[in-house]
Amino acid sequence: MRPEGGESTLPLRRDWTGWLFVLIAVVAIGAVLYANGEKNGARYMARPHPVAPPADVVPEAPPMVLAPVTESDARAQNAKIALVTKGFVAPRPFVYGGGGDAKARARDCLAAAMLYEAGDDAKGQQAVGQVVINRARHPAFPKSICGVVFQGSERVTGCQFTFTCDGALNRRYSDAAWQRARNNADLMLSGGTYPAIGLATHYHTDWVRPYWSDSLEKIAIVDTHLFFRWPGYWGTPGAFRGAVSGDDGPIAKLAALSPLHAIALGLPTEIAPVDANAAVGEARVVVGAGETAGRDTIYTQLDRKAAPESFVTTALRLCGDKPYCKFMGWTNPTLKPDSDAMSDTQRAAMSFSYLRDDKAGFEKALWNCSEYRRDDVRQCMKR
């Protein structure tokens, strides 16, 4: 029934109740989805912004302890950490303050960190090396290169660099790979930088999640590695002003890999795979007949893949403080002589030479420019 001349109210009532049913259903479905999301996705919630430690208290460096999560969960959680680009500052060049055996030991500590943390990869090694140098400059860490690398290595777990306490040093890389890492370390200790990671003091691969990742700012991504700094003052350039020791001592855990560490500890160098004077694979020091011990001639095999500028660093290291030193290097091991009595073919195959004579006030480095192009022809050997 409907009023005379009026409209029926039944269709309106049906429309209203139908929309109400749809609304209730949508709300119910949304509530279920939200509950499931809370249950299944809580692990992937976005991280809160880390709180900056007090500027007047040096923060404590947390050890590398990993949360028990799967690789896929770790990647998902790491992806939720925001990348902070504000205040990003490139690192300043660093030049090691010491020399001689101390610098060589620092180089081997740094090379070990580069090789065992990044493998035989130049870019990854430089990133690791920059983190080590950043730490050495920061008051929260030891003030030497070897001290930074082997911090906490006396513990079974929880060291700063896991290769120093998880038995990884029992695995040996090839001599060539080890020497490439040493060359890269030499460059980092002689003013080389890796700007892409800024002032990062921590890093990890994206398939693990250290407990400290919640308290630091993610500032760089290099391939599968994530790099972090402290928030607040302790992540700014002002915090990286500490003096770094130029007198690195020996590390027992490195003695089997580095003869320079073994010698300083009074251990036999036979346990080490590379000669104590090795520049690349082999370096032989020969004192010629009729010459004094202060006039050394060094015949060295060089790494063909190494940066040619690194040959100078190698020569300076091997010559040390000697007032007279002649350094000659070959990238072709079959043509490297053992004395000055070399053939014309051997002499023509020489890749690099360095001569220092303090008495004559002379010092010069030359390259074989048929092998290594130089912009300044005065750096080329005469043929």
| Residue ranges covered by each domain of the chain | 71-259, 277-379
**35 pLDDT exceeds 80?**
no
Q: Measure CA of the first residue to CA of the last residue in the chain; give whole Å.
A: 118
* 330 beta partners: 301
Q: Which helix (H) or strand (E) holds 185?
A: helix 175-188
Relative orientation angle of helices 310-319 and 175-188, to the nearest 10 degrees: 90
- Greater model confidence, 78 or 359: 78
pLDDT of residue 17: 59
Our measurement of the distance from residue 66's CA atom to the centroid of its chain's CA atoms, rounded to an integer in Å, reads 20
pLDDT of residue 12: 43
Our measurement of the distance from residue 353's CA atom to the centroid of its chain's CA atoms, rounded to an integer in Å, reads 30
**15 pLDDT exceeds 80?**
no
**What is the average per-residue pLDDT within 338-355?**
84
Give the C-alpha distances (Å, rounded to integers) separating 250 from 40, 140, 242, 265: 51, 22, 22, 7
**261 pLDDT exceeds 60?**
yes
Whose tokens are 């695995």? That residue is: 171
Least confident of 62-71, 235-244, 337-346: 337-346
State the DSSP string of 161-228: SGGGTSSGGGS---HHHHHHHHHHHHHHTBT---GGGTT--EEEETT--BGGGGTSEEEEEETTEEEE
In angstroms, the CA 43 to CA 72 distance is 11
In angstroms, the CA 291 to CA 298 distance is 13
- Greater model confidence, 49 or 35: 49
Type of residue at 276: A
Tokens linked to 223 = 């391939």
Indicate the pLDDT class of residue 336, thresholds 50, 70 and 90: confident
Q: pTM, whole model, 2 decimals?
A: 0.61
State the DSSP string of 106-148: HHHHHHHHHHHHH-S-HHHHHHHHHHHHHHHHSTTS-SSHHHH
What is the CB neighbour count within 10 angstroms for residue 201?
25
* 78 beta partners: none
| Residues ≥6 apart with Cβ < 8 Å to 211 | 62, 65, 66, 67
For 3-35, letters b (16+ CB in 10 Å) and e give: eeeeeeeeeeeeeeeeeeeeeeeeeeeeeeeee
In angstroms, the CA 274 to CA 371 distance is 26
Tell me, what DSSP letter sits at residue 340? S
In angstroms, the CA 261 to CA 276 distance is 9
Three-state DSSP state, 351: coil
